[in-house]
């Protein structure tokens, strides 16, 4: 399916278990890309997310049923969560998949009473910085396990319906 056709047909974004084969494959692809960008297989500045601490994990599918993007939410406190493992396959970037996933994550956060979303990305991911800024996320001080990470950039957004 061409990028133009994909933009015309928004991806289906559905909740999947953390250990679903599509979830696992997309997260593995994300980690490979991060390792290549940062030159290390372990650039996680804190505890890696697990099925036990990710409250919701979403996978985006093309009309043909191909898994092309994902993202999850890890609760930080009673009213906020962190976006984790946001990823879109290289071939599907710029087609609206990332927008569909992040907006579905925002809705999932609101459904759980979380009105603030935070995230960490890195200095070697200018494309992610541009995307999150375009989606209304603004830079904040490094939080949690990212406080001492030289490569981390943190962002936040107050989410609301409507």
Domain encompassing residue 99: 3-158
Axis crossing angle, helix 97-111 with helix 126-134, rounded to the nearest 10: 60
pLDDT digits (tens, 9 = 90+) for 109-161: 999 999 999 999 999 999 999 999 999 999 999 999 999 999 999 999 999 98
Output the pLDDT for position 4: 52
List of residues 6+ apart from 83 with CB closer than 8 A: 71, 72, 73, 102, 105, 117, 118, 119
Rounded CA-CA distance 81/73 in Å is 6
The alpha carbons of the chain give a radius of gyration, in whole angstroms, of 15
CATH number at residue 42: 3.40.630.30
How many domains, in total, are found in the chain?
1
Query: Residue 7 — pLDDT band, cuts 50, 70, 90?
Result: low
For residue 50, CA distances in Å to 5, 19, 30, 118 come to: 34, 9, 15, 18
Query: What is the pTM for the complete model shown?
Result: 0.93
pLDDT score, position 126: 96
């Amino acid at each position: 399916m061409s990028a133009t056709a994909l933009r015309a047909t928004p991806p289906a974004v559905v909740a999947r278990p953390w250990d679903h084969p599509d979830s696992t494959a997309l997260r593995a692809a994300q980690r490979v890309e991060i390792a290549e960008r940062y030159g290390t297989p372990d650039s996680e500045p804190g505890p890696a997310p697990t099925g036990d601490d990710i409250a919701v994990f979403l996978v985006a599918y093309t009309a043909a049923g191909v898994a092309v993007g994902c993202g999850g939410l890890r609760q930080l406190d009673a009213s906020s969560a962190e976006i984790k493992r946001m990823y879109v396959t290289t071939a599907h970037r710029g087609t609206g998949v990332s927008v569909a996933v992040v907006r579905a994550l925002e809705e999932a956060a609101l459904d759980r009473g979380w009105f603030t979303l935070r995230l960490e990305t890195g200095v070697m991911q200018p494309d992610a910085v541009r995307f999150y800024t375009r989606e209304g996320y603004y830079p904040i001080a490094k939080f949690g396990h990212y406080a001492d990470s030289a490569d981390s950039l943190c962002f936040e957004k107050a989410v609301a319906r409507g």
